[in-house]
Structure 1
Amino acid sequence: MFVRRRHAVAAVLAVALLTTGCGSPASSPTPEPTATAPSPTDSDTAAFAAAEATYRAYVDALNAVDLSDPTTFEPVYALTTGEMRDETTATFSEMRDQGWRVEGESTVRSLSLSGATPETVELSVCLDVHEVLVRDSAGSPVTSNGRSPVQTLTITVALDSGRGLIHRIAPRDNGPAC
């Protein structure tokens, strides 16, 4: 069971590796503060913006990961928390120890708010992974031939004092279509 879970985590991380195209996404201008009192909608918008920024920073950190160089893992660890950090650490170590490498790029097709509490934000993500291939040390593909070219994911971002950390990445069955 533990090995199967580790392989599932490895698959999710491998799918998440290099999840945007080349370069960073264009950043939107920072909105000017207004004198009006925030409404619940403003609060949800701010929470979504913080969660999206966290996820995009996480993706940028994954883009920079070189499985043969453990120092490149640190920025990813800095953006995760709890079990997600523990699982990521174990998975990266396992992938490095086994000599795996990732080829190709994934692209975030869409990202939307699916829920928010004062402590967490859930994002619905559609991730195009058709170009991603994970290879073992012998160069043989580890990536399943039967996987969907677009992964539907739920990203849970924990908010703590205005700072977001990736708490969970999981496949999803409902929410926006991809």
Structure 2
Amino acid sequence: MIARRSAALLATVALVTALAACASAAAPKPSPTPTGFASKEEAFAAAEKTYRAYIDALNEVDLSDPATFEPVYAYLRGDALASEKKTLTQMHADGWTVSGKTTLPQIYAGNALGELIVCQDVSAVDVTDASGSSQVAPTRPNVFALDVKVEFDPTSLTAAKVSKSQAVKDSRC
């Protein structure tokens, strides 16, 4: 009798195991890449949105009022944040003013995820010192290219922050 029960129990366990193995597994949910974005398109969209928001905030800076710097800092991290803080703080201390707005006529995807090539137009921007003298170099191009690195950051309103930006040569700009 015990042998029959053991055989029946063993058969039941084997049947349940076989059925479980044959059952279809639930479809896996797509998971974000290590960058935090599910696709290159999503990463580009977040990077572009972040850089545009950063420039919008920068265009609203009043160098006489450091409180206006904070919205700019919200879109930056790492080297980009440190550099911007140093620049804006020094311009404020020196009594400089900025007039005009920077525009972004074109933004391209860079070679890596979260990398942008940004065409930046500063033709309408002037920076003057406390005496009213322009500090814009006569050789400054009106439009130039920047290689911008944007990293996933869930604390940002745009899901990303600018971490690096450097001027580059790019014939598209």
Quickly name the TM-score band, shorter chain normalised: 0.7 to 0.9
Aligned residue among 122, 130, 133 for 2:123: 130
Say whether residues 1:99 and 2:95 are aligned partners.
Answer: yes
3-state DSSP class of the match of 1:116? coil
Higher relative contact order structure (alpha carbons within 8 Å, sequence separation ≥ 6): 1
Shift in Å, 1:116: 3.0
Say whether residues 1:75 and 2:71 are aligned partners.
Answer: yes
Say whether residues 1:65 and 2:58 are aligned partners.
Answer: no
What are structure 2's unaligned runs of at least 5 residues? 1-29
Shift in Å, 1:56: 1.2
Say whether residues 1:165 and 2:161 are aligned partners.
Answer: yes
2:148 partner letter: I
Shift in Å, 1:144: 0.4
Contact (CA 8 Å) 2:110, 2:117: kept in 1 or not? yes
3-state DSSP class of the match of 2:43? helix
CA distance in 1, matches of 2:122, 2:55: 13
1:69 partner letter: D
Shift in Å, 1:105: 2.1
- The TM-score normalised by the length of structure 1 is 0.71
2:132 partner letter: G
Shift in Å, 1:83: 1.8
- The TM-score normalised by the length of structure 2 is 0.73
CA distance in 2, matches of 1:64, 1:72: 7
Shift in Å, 1:115: 2.7
Pick the structure with greater CA Rg. 2
CA distance in 1, matches of 2:111, 2:79: 21
For 1:140, the equivalent position in structure 2 comes to 133
Contact (CA 8 Å) 1:44, 1:116: kept in 2 or not? no
For 2:39, the equivalent position in structure 1 comes to 43
Contact (CA 8 Å) 2:64, 2:95: kept in 1 or not? yes
Shift in Å, 1:106: 2.2
Identity of aligned residues (%): 40
Count of residue correspondences: 137
Aligned residue among 163, 168, 177 for 2:172: 177
Greater Cα shift, 141-150 or 157-166: 157-166
Contact (CA 8 Å) 2:61, 2:69: kept in 1 or not? yes
CA distance in 1, matches of 2:48, 2:172: 19
For 2:104, the equivalent position in structure 1 comes to 108
